[in-house]
Amino acid sequence: MHKFTVLYYRVDDEMALEEFFSSTHLPLLESLPGLRAVEVSRVLGQPMGQSRFTLTVEAMFDSRPALEAALSTAAGVTLMNALRPWAENRLITWYYADTFSSDQTP
Protein backbone atom coordinates (compact mmCIF):
# COMPACT_ATOMS: atom_id res chain seq x y z
CA MET A 1 0.00 0.00 0.00
CA HIS A 2 1.02 3.59 -0.57
CA LYS A 3 -0.25 6.44 1.56
CA PHE A 4 -0.67 10.19 1.11
CA THR A 5 -0.79 11.88 4.51
CA VAL A 6 -1.69 15.47 5.36
CA LEU A 7 -1.11 16.79 8.88
CA TYR A 8 -2.93 20.00 9.81
CA TYR A 9 -1.25 22.25 12.37
CA ARG A 10 -3.30 23.98 15.05
CA VAL A 11 -4.50 27.37 13.81
CA ASP A 12 -6.20 30.36 15.38
CA ASP A 13 -9.16 30.13 13.00
CA GLU A 14 -10.34 26.58 13.59
CA MET A 15 -13.61 27.26 11.73
CA ALA A 16 -11.71 28.15 8.53
CA LEU A 17 -9.69 24.95 8.83
CA GLU A 18 -12.83 22.88 9.41
CA GLU A 19 -14.63 24.53 6.49
CA PHE A 20 -11.71 23.91 4.12
CA PHE A 21 -11.29 20.33 5.25
CA SER A 22 -15.01 19.46 5.09
CA SER A 23 -16.00 21.30 1.93
CA THR A 24 -12.82 21.07 -0.17
CA HIS A 25 -10.14 18.64 1.00
CA LEU A 26 -12.25 15.62 1.91
CA PRO A 27 -14.69 15.73 -1.07
CA LEU A 28 -11.83 16.09 -3.57
CA LEU A 29 -9.85 13.34 -1.88
CA GLU A 30 -12.82 10.97 -1.88
CA SER A 31 -13.32 11.55 -5.62
CA LEU A 32 -9.85 10.29 -6.55
CA PRO A 33 -9.84 7.11 -8.63
CA GLY A 34 -8.08 4.13 -7.07
CA LEU A 35 -8.56 5.38 -3.51
CA ARG A 36 -8.75 2.33 -1.22
CA ALA A 37 -9.39 3.98 2.14
CA VAL A 38 -9.32 7.28 3.97
CA GLU A 39 -8.55 7.61 7.65
CA VAL A 40 -9.17 10.90 9.44
CA SER A 41 -7.93 11.45 12.99
CA ARG A 42 -8.66 14.32 15.33
CA VAL A 43 -5.52 14.86 17.41
CA LEU A 44 -6.39 15.07 21.10
CA GLY A 45 -2.92 15.59 22.48
CA GLN A 46 0.46 14.00 22.96
CA PRO A 47 2.16 12.41 25.97
CA MET A 48 3.44 15.72 27.37
CA GLY A 49 0.40 17.91 26.60
CA GLN A 50 -1.12 19.58 23.59
CA SER A 51 0.05 18.59 20.12
CA ARG A 52 0.91 21.15 17.49
CA PHE A 53 -1.29 19.11 15.10
CA THR A 54 -5.07 19.10 15.10
CA LEU A 55 -6.03 16.75 12.26
CA THR A 56 -4.46 13.99 10.21
CA VAL A 57 -5.79 12.68 6.91
CA GLU A 58 -4.42 9.49 5.38
CA ALA A 59 -5.41 8.32 1.90
CA MET A 60 -4.43 4.77 0.92
CA PHE A 61 -3.74 3.51 -2.59
CA ASP A 62 -2.54 0.16 -3.90
CA SER A 63 0.80 1.57 -5.07
CA ARG A 64 2.74 4.71 -5.78
CA PRO A 65 1.80 4.55 -9.49
CA ALA A 66 -1.88 4.34 -8.44
CA LEU A 67 -1.47 7.46 -6.27
CA GLU A 68 0.41 9.31 -9.01
CA ALA A 69 -2.32 8.41 -11.53
CA ALA A 70 -5.01 9.66 -9.15
CA LEU A 71 -3.18 12.94 -8.55
CA SER A 72 -2.83 13.52 -12.30
CA THR A 73 -6.63 13.55 -12.78
CA ALA A 74 -8.64 16.78 -12.74
CA ALA A 75 -9.72 16.08 -9.15
CA GLY A 76 -6.14 15.32 -8.13
CA VAL A 77 -4.77 18.52 -9.66
CA THR A 78 -7.57 20.52 -8.03
CA LEU A 79 -6.83 18.88 -4.67
CA MET A 80 -3.11 19.60 -4.84
CA ASN A 81 -3.76 23.20 -5.94
CA ALA A 82 -6.17 23.64 -3.01
CA LEU A 83 -3.67 22.20 -0.51
CA ARG A 84 -0.63 24.08 -1.86
CA PRO A 85 -1.40 27.47 -0.18
CA TRP A 86 -1.90 25.69 3.13
CA ALA A 87 1.51 24.05 2.73
CA GLU A 88 3.18 27.28 1.60
CA ASN A 89 1.79 29.06 4.67
CA ARG A 90 3.03 26.21 6.89
CA LEU A 91 -0.47 25.28 8.01
CA ILE A 92 -0.07 21.69 6.86
CA THR A 93 2.71 19.26 6.22
CA TRP A 94 2.28 16.38 3.78
CA TYR A 95 4.14 13.32 2.65
CA TYR A 96 3.91 10.02 0.74
CA ALA A 97 4.84 6.71 2.36
CA ASP A 98 4.93 3.00 1.66
CA THR A 99 3.03 1.16 4.36
CA PHE A 100 3.04 -2.37 5.73
CA SER A 101 1.53 -4.10 8.72
CA SER A 102 3.50 -5.84 11.43
CA ASP A 103 2.79 -9.23 9.84
CA GLN A 104 4.31 -8.12 6.52
CA THR A 105 7.88 -7.46 5.52
CA PRO A 106 8.71 -3.99 4.19
Here the CATH number for the domain that contains residue 12 is 3.30.70.100
Q: Please give the pLDDT value at position 21.
A: 96
Does 104 map to a domain? no
Residue 44 falls within a domain, yes or no?
yes
As for how many domains the chain has, the answer is 1
CA separation for the pair 21, 32 (Å, rounded): 16
User: Model confidence over 53-80: pLDDT tens digits?
Assistant: 999 999 999 999 999 999 999 999 999 9
The answer to the question of residue 89 being in a domain is: yes
Kindly provide the b/e burial profile for residues 28-65, where b requires at least 16 CB atoms within 10 angstroms of the residue's own CB. Answer: bbeebebbeeeeeeebeeeeeeeeebbbebbbbbeeee
- What distances in angstroms separate CA 47 from CA 21, 40, 53, one per listed residue? 26, 20, 13
Q: Which domain holds residue 85?
A: 8-98
Q: For 7-16, what is the mean pLDDT?
A: 94
72 in a domain, yes or no? Answer: yes
Sequence letter at residue 40: V
Is 103 inside any structural domain?
no
Whole-model pTM?
Answer: 0.88
